[in-house]
Amino acid sequence: MLKKVNLGVLVSGSGSNLQSVIDNIELGKLDAAIKVIICNNPDAYALKRAKKHGIPSVVIDHTKYRNRELFDLKMIEILKSFSVELVVMAGFMKVLTATFLRAFPMKIMNIHPALLPSFQGLHGQSGAFEYGVKFTGCTVHFADEGVDTGPIIIQAVVPVCDDDTVEILQKRILKEEHRIYPQAIQLYAENKLEISGRKVRIRDHKKFEGLPQHNPPLEKF
């Protein structure tokens, strides 16, 4: 049996990605244990999820800190005290400082609701929707000093349909987020992620066998 990887999950809001990690751990599909959940927003629904599953949670309200550095130092202190090996950003709406990145080098994952490097930043879903792309999706990547720029681990492609609203699209993307995040963490737990510069190679894993997709579908061609 694999050794379980100790996770620290950072959240700011609803925590549905956190929930998918919790559920997959409870189902025995994910060789990980959530040691602590850190939330910067005292009113986040994610805190209720933590409580329901008996997982320690700590609120670190960023508005109470003079600068980002001090806020990050507090997070580092908590994560280290819980022996966290991998930091999982799950809808965590703060940008990490270099101090934090140095404390967990290539041991921080983030999920973004777009196909990076398109539509980085705060409005991944609406950015893609407004732009009029025919496909968008979601990405799990390692965090680096940029915003949504680190080496990509896994992506899921989601079609955009003519009668979509942003809300419908958001839900379609979120459903895939809940699948790819546990997969990325499991690949880490299995020590299958090999980082070389910007590229993440997946050791001893199934290869992509799907066909190119077209939206709208091709008819005669």
Q: Which residues here bind ligand GAR, judged by CB under 6 A?
A: 13-17, 90-91, 111-113, 124, 174, 177
DSSP 2: P
Confirm whether 112 is a catalytic residue.
yes
Least distance from ligand GAR to the Cβ atom of residue 110, Å: 7
The C-alpha atoms of residue 18 and residue 181 are separated, in whole angstroms, by: 9
Nearer to ligand GAR, 35 or 49 (CB): 49
The C-alpha atoms of residue 215 and residue 206 are separated, in whole angstroms, by: 26
Catalytic residue, candidates 53, 112, 178, 205: 112
What are the residues whose beta carbons fall under 8 Å from the beta carbon of 174, sequence distance 6 or more?
16, 113
- Biggest CA pair distance of the chain: 62
Nearer to ligand GAR, 117 or 203 (CB): 117
Least distance from ligand GAR to the Cβ atom of residue 91, Å: 3
Least distance from ligand GAR to the Cβ atom of residue 113, Å: 4
- CB-based closest residue to ligand GAR: 91
CA-CA distances (angstroms) from residue 156 to 59, 100, 161, 183? 31, 28, 16, 11
Nearer to ligand GAR, 48 or 203 (CB): 48
Least distance from ligand GAR to the Cβ atom of residue 3, Å: 26
Instruction: Note whether 128 and 136 are within 8 A (CB).
Output: yes
Residue 72 burial by CB count (10 A; 0-12/13-18/19+): exposed, middle or buried? buried
CA-CA distances (angstroms) from residue 183 to 52, 177, 194? 24, 10, 15
Nearer to ligand GAR, 20 or 193 (CB): 20
Which residues participate in catalysis according to the annotation? 112
